[in-house]
Chains A and B, each alone.
Chain A
Amino acid sequence: MATRVAAAGGGDWNTGASWVGGVAPTAADDAQVPVTAGNMVIGTGAVCRSADFNTYTGQLSGTGTLTIGDGTAGLSNIALRLASGMTRSGSWALSFISSSSTTQTVTSNGITCPGNVTFNNASGKWQVVDNLTCGGNFVVTAANTLDTTTSSAQIIMSGSVFTFSGGSKTFYQLTATAITGNVVYGGNNSFTNVSLTAGSGKSGNVSLSGNMTVTGTLAFAGGSSVNRLLILNSTVGTARTITTTGATVTATNTDFQDITLSVAKDFSAQTDVGDCGGNSGITFPASVSQTWSGTSGGNWSTNGWTTRVPLPQDDVVINNAFSASQTVTADMPRLGRSIDWTGATGSPTWTNNTTNDIFGSLTLISAMSVTAGSSFTYRGRSNYTITSAGVSFANVCAINCPGGTYTLNDALTSTSASGFFLNGGGLNSNGFNVTFKLFVLSNSVTRSLTMGTSTWTATDSGATTPWSLATTTGLTFSGSSSTIIYSIASASTRTFAGGGLTYGTLTYTVAGSTGELDITGANSFAAINFSDVTNARSLKFTAGTTTTIRNGNGFNVQGTSGKLMTVDSITAATHTITATLDQHCQYLSVKNSVVDASPKWYAGTTSTDVSGNTNWLFSNPSFYLTSGTSRDYERQFFQGLVGNIGTLEDMKNKWFCSQTGLSHPRSAERQYLKSLGATGKDYHELWFTYLGNKGFSGSLNDRRRNFFTTQTTFI
């Protein structure tokens, strides 16, 4: 343990030459930087037991961290003393790590630490003697005592974005004056006073991941009506309490989200406090509908609205007769409650230059375009709607509305390559199409998805997971009647992450697509349609999972001659597919696939049994027919077919009648047989749906004679 004095030439802290005697301070040494010392630079490895810059008039610069402290108190119980006459530059940081049980002082004398300030020893005791200004993050990772109240010392955060993590300590005052971005507040801390003010940007926000107790003055202030401050809980949908017993609370140009004030505060007489939902103990100004002013476009923040730039609780009406080629730019992060463009004319364009939150319904008109690049997040906490009017969203759209539900009023199309997200709350497609590149709803937040009978079309062609629902924790799901289509041809492997849920139909039949489809999760499908007459491709399941097919012939995986569809596992182990009705496929290459012994899984004689398969039948099913109608014509017709006639091909060849037929109705769900007479021409056609071990049902069609049977069952 020694006292090291900085040399007249100054230099790097951790270089011997910078110090009298040629030895740089160790963690056990007290460092003194007097008026005679030259400029000092904090680089890597700068340590000391204490640092005293008393009377120093030079410059302290550098980008490293000065680590101060060891197991004993510094000289005169000083941990750090900066000098009012010194200057500073760079981004050097301070880390206090003493384990001494003696309280050591930290004195700034008005000098800002440009970087982070950290206290990190559970045994350490410090007293901040005067205002400590921090340009980076202020983090109390561990401290026995951090006393700011004895000297009424403020912790002043001078940065525009920062983390204040107070270690659940008691402070005199937290002050921030220039918040323009994301501020993270951590720890369950107590304060005499808190004063948080936004700077000149529009995105200032303080995200509370810990509770706050204030006993004196709590002041939130935006920079202006458009440079607003948002106070929110870090977890959307969960309230964060600010305990304000005995405190004076003020808020101007401030919005709140998921905040509870323990002592109710009434801001209703003001016009500048915004309600983003989830708040309690706060009375907000009443909602006032705001209408866009004028026939020109312009910025959301500068338009002459009815009475004010919309607060989150204000409905927004844009029904103006715009001049040609006008653009409305949403340059505010929080746009308002319900936004309605109904009645607007002039084909306006809506764009943005920042992410936008919408706290209610959105109603677009077909004669407008949305060219927004930054995201829309729908945050309304009640029942709201989205009316797209045929307008596509090229920007990211996310739904995050705890306790609320967004219901579509019409089809929705998202063309964003980054995706369409369900991050919380409910989405009900209400029977309308939803088209997207990626639909991402894999998280653990409480949310619901009602797919109804809608068709959900994925249009991404990259090696992606267009349907991304691997994690279903917290999800209420209804999708058994839905249709999901991977509609775009691709050479890439794409994934359907089903999360083990119950779906309707999954279809990947787009022609010319060679890309593999991987299905993850132990899902249930009414049907999987996987076919392509132009090329082969692969359908793979997660090894070890069981996929359920609910419809007869619902496993509609069909290749063609020379273009076998591969059915396999994603990794080298078996998967299981189960059904309750027979399945009939053809032109497959099957590997690692376990199916039921009963019902029967026919791969047909056109398929290849590669390896690792169980219960697949590489043969054709046989049929047994009896007549089931009472019409003379049909009785005569079918009498030639009674009995077990063997294979499908056999049946085709033996079926004849005396009447000619012309019809060729088609049904993707049904098979048909053509009768061939002596001349080889088509006669009648028997349409049937094979029901597996229940036989099949169908009808005899002769459209020339308008002659139909109905639901004749052949067993």
Chain B
Amino acid sequence: MDQIFIQHRFSIERDGNTLQDALVMPLEDYQKLSESDIEAQKEERFTNWQEAIKNPPMVEEPAPEEKIAQIEKDLASLEEQKQVLMSQKVEAQAMVDIAVLESVKEVKLGGK
């Protein structure tokens, strides 16, 4: 049997910041929560969101070796793409060649 979920939408505006979020949980879990439980979950969401905004994770500059490895990966990927494009070019050129041959054939058959 399908489980029934509750989506409790809420919006918290504080200090000019507005969080529009929802609590989503099975109906039986929702029915066990008190009002204060629900409010606490909302507060936790707002706090976590503020934390993500105010203290986003710092990104460390990659080491030179890591940069080189990434560049080599990118070059290998570009080489693959180049091979694919080259094969596509050959196919396209073959189509052009066929078209040219066909037109030459028409001219010759036309006795011109």
Contact = CB atoms under 8 A, between A and B. Distances in A.
Contacts of B45: 390, 411
Main secondary structure of the interface of A (DSSP, over half): loop
A26 B17 CA distance: 75
B80 interface: yes
A396 B64 CA distance: 22
Interface stretch (A43-51, A54-62, A163-171, A682-690): A163-171
Contact of A139 (B26, B83, B94): B83
Contact of B19 (A188, A417, A433): A433
B59 interface: yes
Interface stretch (A241-249, A250-258, A454-462, A493-501): A454-462
Contact of B88 (A186, A387, A415, A460): A186
A413 B87 CA distance: 42
A455 B18 contact: yes
Nearest to A487: B53
A165 B49 contact: no
B91 interface: yes
Contact of A387 (B24, B83, B87): B24
Contacts of B97: 122
A176 to B, nearest CB: 15
B84 A392 contact: no
Contacts of B78: none
A417 B90 contact: no
What's the interface size class on B, roughly?
35 or more
A141 B87 CA distance: 6
B26 A343 contact: yes
Interface in A407-435: 409-411, 413, 415, 417, 431-433, 435
What's the interface size class on A, roughly?
35 or more
Nearest to A391: B48
Contacts of B103: none
Contact of B22 (A188, A410, A435): A410
Given A389-B24, A417-B59, A432-B20, A163 B90 contact: no
A184 interface: yes
B21 interface: yes
A525 B24 CA distance: 33
Contact of A342 (B26, B87, B90): B26
A355 to B, nearest CB: 13
Contacts of B93: 142
B48 A410 contact: no
A201 B93 CA distance: 37
Interface string A138-182: 011110000000000000000000010111100000000000001
A394 interface: yes
Contacts of A663: none
A390 B16 CA distance: 20
Nearest to B44: A390
B96 to A, nearest CB: 11
Contacts of B59: 417
A291 B91 CA distance: 48
B91 A210 contact: yes
Contacts of B80: 163, 182, 184
Interface in B24-53: 24-26, 41, 44-45, 48-49, 52-53
A262 interface: no
Contacts of A167: 87, 90-91
B86 interface: yes
Contacts of A459: 52-53, 56
B23 interface: yes
B111 to A, nearest CB: 28
Nearest to B7: A409
Contacts of B94: 168
B20 A455 contact: yes
B57 interface: yes
Contact of B87 (A209, A389, A411, A483): A209
Interface string B70-112: 0000000000100110111011011001000000000000000
20 contacts: A139-B86, A141-B86, A141-B87, A165-B84, A167-B91, A186-B83, A210-B91, A342-B3, A342-B26, A366-B44, A390-B44, A392-B48, A415-B52, A431-B9, A433-B20, A433-B21, A454-B20, A455-B18, A488-B56, A509-B16
Given A410-B23, A432-B20, A433-B49, 18 more contacts: A139-B87, A141-B86, A141-B90, A142-B90, A165-B83, A165-B86, A186-B88, A187-B87, A188-B91, A390-B49, A394-B57, A411-B22, A411-B49, A417-B57, A433-B21, A457-B53, A460-B56, A461-B56
